[in-house]
Amino acid sequence: MTDPSHTLRPELRLGLEPGLRALGLEPDLAGPLLDYLALLVRWNTTYNLTAIRDPREMLVKHLLDSLALQPFVRDLQSLADLGSGPGLPGIPLAIVTPTLQVTLVESNGKKARFLREAVRRLALGNATVFEGRIEAFAPASTFAAITARALATLPLILELGGHLLGPHGRLLAMKGADFEAEIEALPQAWRVAAIHPLRVPGLDGQRHLIEIVRAGLAA
């Protein structure tokens, strides 16, 4: 079977490079990002890793959407991507931010296998995979931040993964337009530090980054 991402690679590059510039990233990063996209497209035909099939749609809704988070993690040392699925947003962030240590947490076996293969094929020395449930993950050290792109409500993310954060760590949760009820339901031990509207090149829908910290942490 012909890999559509290979056939479309020149077109995809022409779409990706302006998007990277719009996000303040170097267009040269298009190469490894498209390598990841090609791997995802190939595996997706067999393993159904994502419901999105069109590589052009993946470019916007997966790659550029994930990379809109990059300004908020580029100065961090460590990030845990909870319920990473096929590596979103963790793998694109690891590709463009080599100083960031990214742990991809995924309980689904076939998705975890893809993550390990992607880390190996892309030679991502700053990415590791934990296969298992989030609440069972007990790393040797805590993380500067955790993120979740399409995992669960804010309270549930904190219930499952709040233990992974250090005292000054924060949850960086990517949400659409309707998240007020989730914020109102936050446990008392946590508070919203900031809400950032995100501009994703090529995406019409609203996207927001919700920063959540421990309630006792100073602003």
The 10s digit of each residue's pLDDT in 7-40 is 789 999 999 999 999 999 999 999 999 999 999 9
187, part of any domain: yes
> The domain containing residue 196 runs over which residues?
4-214
CA atoms lying within 13 Å on the CB side of residue 88:
23
Q: Count up the domains in the chain and report the number.
A: 1
CATH number at residue 172: 3.40.50.150
54: Cβ contacts below 8 Å, ≥ 6 apart: none
Q: Provide the pLDDT confidence category of residue 218 given band limits of 50, 70 and 90.
A: low
68-126 residue pLDDT tens: 999 999 999 999 999 999 999 999 999 999 999 999 999 999 999 999 999 999 999 99
pLDDT over threshold 90, residue 219: no
Structure tokens at 57: 């749609």
123, part of any domain: yes
219, part of any domain: no
161, part of any domain: yes
Q: Is 73 helix (H, G, I), strand (E, B) or coil?
A: coil
* Mean pLDDT, rounded, for 193-205: 94
84, part of any domain: yes
93, part of any domain: yes
Phi, psi of 13 (to 5 degrees): -65, -40
* Percentage of the residues of the chain whose pLDDT score is greater than 70: 96
118, part of any domain: yes
- The 8-class DSSP code of residue 212 comes to E
- The 8-class DSSP code of residue 180 comes to H
pLDDT over threshold 90, residue 149: no
